[in-house]
Amino acid sequence: MRTTGCHGFCERGPITVIQPDGIFYQRVKLEDVAEVVTETIRNKKIIDRLLYIDPRTGKKIIKEKEVPFYKKQKRIIFGNNGFIDPTDIEDYIALDGYKALAKVLFDMTADEVIAEVKDSGLRGRGGAGFLAGLKWEICRNVSSDVKYIICNADEGDPGAYMDRSLLEGNPHSVIEGMIIGAYAIGASEGYIYVRMEYPLAVKNITLALEQAREMGFLGDSILGSEFSFDIHVFKGAGAFVSGEETSMMASIEGRRAFPRQRPPFPAQEGLWGKPTNINNVETWANIPLILNKGADWYSHIGTRKSKGTKIFSLVGKINNTGLVEVPMGISLREIIYEIGGGIKDGKKFKAVQTGGPSGGCIPADMLDLTIDFDTLTKAGSMMGSGGMIVMDEDTCMVDVARYFLEFTQEESCGKCVPCRVGTRQLVEILTRITKGRGEERDIQKLQDLAKTIKAGSLCGLGQTAPNPVLTTLRYFENEYEAHINQKSCPALVCKDLIIYHIDPKKCVGCLLCLKNCPVDAISGERKQVHVIDQDLCIKCGACLDVCPPKVSAVVRYTGKKKERVLKNVQSKRAKK
Amino acid sequence: MKKLLTESEANQRDLIHILHKVQAEMGYISPEAIAAISKHLKISENEIYGVLTFYKAFSLKPRGEHLVTICMGTACHVRGAPRILDEFKRGLCIEPGETSEDNLFTLETVNCVGASWTVEDQRCGQADRRNKEKFKGIKREGNSIKKMEKINATRLEELKAEILDSRKDQKTCITVCGGTGCHASDVFRLQMLSGMRLRGRS
Ligand SMILES: Cc1cc2nc3c(=O)[nH]c(=O)nc-3n(C[C@H](O)[C@H](O)[C@H](O)COP(=O)(O)O)c2cc1C
Ligand code: FES
């Protein structure tokens, strides 16, 4: 019996797997437990109702590895999560844990380690995709009595949670990676900066550090070698910009998380002015694997310039929400349809957003894009830390752009003007458009502003902030135009541009919407057609939600159709 | 407060750590607390205000008894979080960041609690009990690590063999996913229950 880290298929949780057969039960409830023990374990009988049904074939699937969600994945980093109890260091050791560390400490020089990481082609998983080995080498070559390394676990991109899962589910892989990195770079102290919204990650990593220390993987003369190193956990305090490396260092020093100009780069002047190397959680977790299996093995996975795998958090309007680890170079279509099981409720796919607030939206006609660091950047988006938010026909792209800009505007630290003032202006224009007050010149204005902000901002936050606007403009300009010219929101999202209306031909007078309307805007009697008072309606959508699907009398209108319906209603009222 | 400070070191680097502790203990950071921290760390109150207002974790006003946190992350956004927020705003008659007049509710938004799979993860709970609640259930009685010894490289190999050997007889192993996604769907109670039944039998 073992409680493990996240298996990734969160949509179907709670998940229980019976080893060694790998029987996969999903959505297990308390009532089921006794049956699992008596039937499956004692009598070796499979419980049908707990099995996963492949929605495409309708067939029941027994084994974990045959579930389509897992089939296309390559879970070299994340896979062990399912076998490890993160509170028990022995589980990690049993799976070759700390073997790479022992090899490094006794059989390899620091330069050899760096060469291996460089040869592997591993690029940073935190966003920018800088070559990890090269970054290490730069830091190693700066001479200093004290050096630091940092693990960036601030994971600020809304919708991304793979770093959290690694820290919670397999903390020792991150720790081992860091110790190896420290040895290569010559650092004596390390920090793991965890965002405060992740209490379980803080807890598991703290416990893991204690156990590693107790067994001599951390502290003085690690594993009996001459190398000494220790790691502290630092709990963040809620600021997106602290994920940026120079801000993060300011935060660890106990100050406001203001970014600063680079150069000097952290490798030259970092934490407390000392050379510092900062990598993302997933980057660190790749390290033990590379040293165990070799750069050659590793560099065979992925594309020419992006090696290895990447964990994405596949969320939004997708059937199989969860964490997926795929080789670089897989196509978006494979991720969304084969692993993700397609779009929820049979709706139409519209776009996928990657790279968080710094990224962009990729439209349906680019579904065959094979993804790695460079293809995503070329498409106007970026890899970011791995959020992948799927949007369907019911998502308004102008609203999405406004959402992201509101986010960056709110999170802008305020130190530099282009970012602080520019993002606010972007939000103002976008809000105006979603409220139906957009002007023809707005599109040009958005584009000009975006360019200024990109060029003039101090840190990555500002430099990438306009990306969501730029990509939506690039791929969905028609939606902007509809909002501006026809005052219509094609996705029926923007409140000021839509009305809710009850179709008198369909309404059966069941009183459901009437009872659920929070502002009593609906009038009518049982078995009589109900009417929404447009002056009172706050457009909360409750009526649409409760109207039985068989009836579906509540409809939304936008643009010309909306005007027509409104006029109709008014003339009817005047007649009365 | 005194005890809290004497437990902490007196470095600027401990400021955020101390603020976390005060926030957790008192629910907010009072002017008195700021004065005490300023004295302890020998940094100006001004600077402390600067730091604590920068981060969303700290509040200068006491929070209501119940803290309602609504995730406004992207995934939640496309799945309709703004509507839920609107509903709370109307129901509680407060804007995000405010506390209701009867001091019962504080409404806050957060950018992503990292629970995008459940999206119904709109939390409403006792403010100060929030974190403790999350930890409940993952504590293991009689941790399976019997011998925590300092080891060296050669011992590592042996240890691995020993661990594998000791597990040789374990024919079936039920692995229950303890990830946060499944956590949200009650997995820990599941684990404890099945754990109880299984103990001494496997
Ligand atoms: C505004 C902003 C937010 C960032 N947030 C994160 C983050 O949450 N996690 C992360 O690993 N890197 C983040 N980064 C990137 C880091 O600055 C840094 O490049 C990264 O941690 C380096 O690690 P890597 O080379 O392993 O990718 C952010 C950058 C910017 C500009
Ligand atoms: S976006 Fe809401 S939990 Fe992640």
Q: Does ligand 1 come within 6 angstroms of the Cβ of A411? A: no
Cβ–Cβ of B150/A214 closer than 8 Å? yes
Cβ–Cβ of A237/B58 closer than 8 Å? yes
Looking at ligand 1, which atom is closest to the CA of residue A243? Answer: 5
Tens digits of per-residue pLDDT, B18-58? 999 998 888 889 999 999 999 999 999 999 999 999 998 89
- Domain membership of residue A328 (yes or no) is yes
Given the structure tokens 């940092």, which residue do they identify?
Answer: A150
Indicate whether A253 and A173 sit together in one domain: yes
Indicate whether A445 and A535 sit together in one domain: no
- Domain membership of residue A5 (yes or no) is no
Pick the last residue of a domain from A260, A278, A299. A299
Mean pLDDT in residue range A7-11? 81
Indicate whether A153 and A252 sit together in one domain: yes
Give the closest ligand to the alpha carbon of residue A156: 1
The helix (H) or strand (E) run that includes residue B100 is none
Mean pLDDT in chain A? 93
Examine the pLDDT at A293 and tell me if it is beyond 50.
yes
Examine the pLDDT at A65 and tell me if it is beyond 50.
yes
B5: phi then psi, degrees, rounded to nearest 5 = -75, -40
Looking at ligand 1, which atom is closest to the CA of residue A195? Answer: 8
- pLDDT, residue A335, reads 96
Q: Kindly indicate whether the ipTM for this predicted assembly is greater than 0.85, answering yes or no.
A: no
CB-CB contact of A354 with A382 (8 Å): yes
Q: How confident is the model at residue B77 (pLDDT cuts 50, 70, 90)?
A: low
- Best residue among A315, A353, A385 to mutate for probing ligand 2, ranked by most atoms within 8 Å of CB: A315
Examine the pLDDT at A124 and tell me if it is beyond 60.
yes
At A343, the amino acid letter reads I
**Which candidate from A11, A158, A395 shows the least CB-CB separation from B111?**
A158
Q: Does ligand 2 come within 6 angstroms of the Cβ of B114? A: yes
User: How far apart are the CA of B102 and the nearest CA of chain A, in angstroms?
Assistant: 22
Which pair of structure tokens corresponds to residue A215? 């067994």
Residue B124 pairs in a beta bridge with B68
Indicate whether A40 and A188 sit together in one domain: no
Domains and CATH numbers, chain B: 2-54 (no CATH), 66-134+177-193 (3.40.30)
Indicate whether A284 and A207 sit together in one domain: yes
Mutate: best of B175, B185, B193, partner A, most A CBs <10 A: B175
> Does B44 contact A at CB distance below 8 Å?
no
Indicate whether A229 and A248 sit together in one domain: yes
Q: How confident is the model at residue B197 (pLDDT cuts 50, 70, 90)?
A: very low
User: How far apart are the CA of A551 and the nearest CA of chain B, in angstroms?
Assistant: 23
The 10 Å Cβ neighbour count of residue A220 is 10
Which pair of structure tokens corresponds to residue A245? 């490396």
- The CATH number covering residue A514 comes to 3.30.70.20
Q: Does ligand 2 come within 6 angstroms of the Cβ of B22? A: no
Residue A3 pairs in a beta bridge with B176
- pLDDT, residue B200, reads 28
**Which candidate from A13, A102, A211 shows the least CB-CB separation from B187?**
A13
Distance separating alpha carbons of residues A146 and A132, to the nearest angstrom: 20
Q: Does ligand 1 come within 6 angstroms of the Cβ of A243? A: yes
Number of domains in chain A: 5
Which pair of structure tokens corresponds to residue A197? 């919204």
- Domain membership of residue A337 (yes or no) is yes
- The CATH number covering residue A356 comes to 3.10.20.600
Q: Among A13-27, A352-366, B33-47, which is the least confidently predicted range?
A: A13-27
- Range of A21's domain? 10-71
The helix (H) or strand (E) run that includes residue A473 is helix A467-485
Looking at ligand 1, which atom is closest to the CA of residue A259? Answer: 31
> Does B87 contact A at CB distance below 8 Å?
yes
Pick the last residue of a domain from A366, A392, A418. A392
The helix (H) or strand (E) run that includes residue A148 is strand A148-153
Q: How confident is the model at residue A43 (pLDDT cuts 50, 70, 90)?
A: confident
Indicate whether A321 and A286 sit together in one domain: no
Which pair of structure tokens corresponds to residue B36? 């005490």
Pick the last residue of a domain from A485, A520, A540. A485
Indicate whether A115 and A225 sit together in one domain: yes
Q: How confident is the model at residue A310 (pLDDT cuts 50, 70, 90)?
A: very high
Indicate whether A44 and A111 sit together in one domain: no
- pLDDT, residue B166, reads 78
- Domain membership of residue A493 (yes or no) is no
- The CATH number covering residue A423 comes to 1.20.1440.230
CB-CB contact of B96 with B107 (8 Å): yes
Q: Whose CA is nearest to atom 2 of ligand 1?
A: A244
- In A, minimum Cα distance to B71 occurs at A158
Examine the pLDDT at B134 and tell me if it is beyond 50.
no
CB-CB contact of A198 with A231 (8 Å): no
Cβ–Cβ of A257/B56 closer than 8 Å? no
